[in-house]
Structures are given as C-alpha cells and as structure tokens.
Amino acid sequence: MAFTSLDKPLALLTKKKHWTYYHQYVEICSIWKNIVTHNILINTNVLSINQDIVYIATSSTGWSQELSFQKCSLLKKINQQLLYTSCLLYTSDAA
C-alpha cells in the first residue's frame, strides 16, 4: 500500500469557515510573541479569542496589573499587525 501526502486534504480542511477562529488564535499568538518583552512572554499565555476579545492568562496578579497598564499600547500593536481584518480588538472598562 502506498502512502499519500496529507498536505492537500489538510490545506483544504483548514480553509473552511469554521477554522477561521483557529487561524485568528494562531495569528494572535504569533503577534504576541513578537510585541512583548521576554519577561512578559514567560509570564503570560494567550488563552483564547471570544467576540473579538483576546484573553491572556498571567502568572500572577502583578503581571495582570502590568498588562492592564500596557493594554492600550499592546492592543494598538496587535491591531496594526493583524492579517484578519475582521478580528479587531476592542477594550471596555467595565465598572
């Protein structure tokens, strides 16, 4: 039995509409690695994207506070590098 490459079927599968969120997640993870410092990178993790909001896990409340100080700057950098223009990130300060 001859083996066949899975490249073509996988490429077709990942182009389907329901894979859009996966591609956005991978893109955000890649951008995150490029825009943050090494210390931020080792203390954070991109968890998910839901309704155009990126959820970031931090190793401590201190890092969470640090990210909140840099929130606007980080969002600008992410939005400038996004390929998926439909995935614009917004912030809201809920009281």
- Reported as a single tens digit per residue, the pLDDT across 22-57 is 888 888 999 999 999 999 999 999 998 888 788 899
Residues in CB range of 18: below 8 A, 6 or more apart: none
**79 CB neighbour count, 10 Å cutoff:** 14
Do residues 15 and 8 make contact, with C-beta atoms less than 8 angstroms apart? no
- Phi, psi angle pair for 87, to nearest 5°: -105, 70
**The residue to which tokens 């600008």 are assigned:** 76
Q: Is the pLDDT confidence value at 95 over 50?
A: no
Looking at residue 39, its pLDDT comes to 96
- Tokens representing residue 28 in the block: 């955000």
Percent over 70 (pLDDT), the chain? 85
As a whole number, the mean pLDDT across the chain is 82
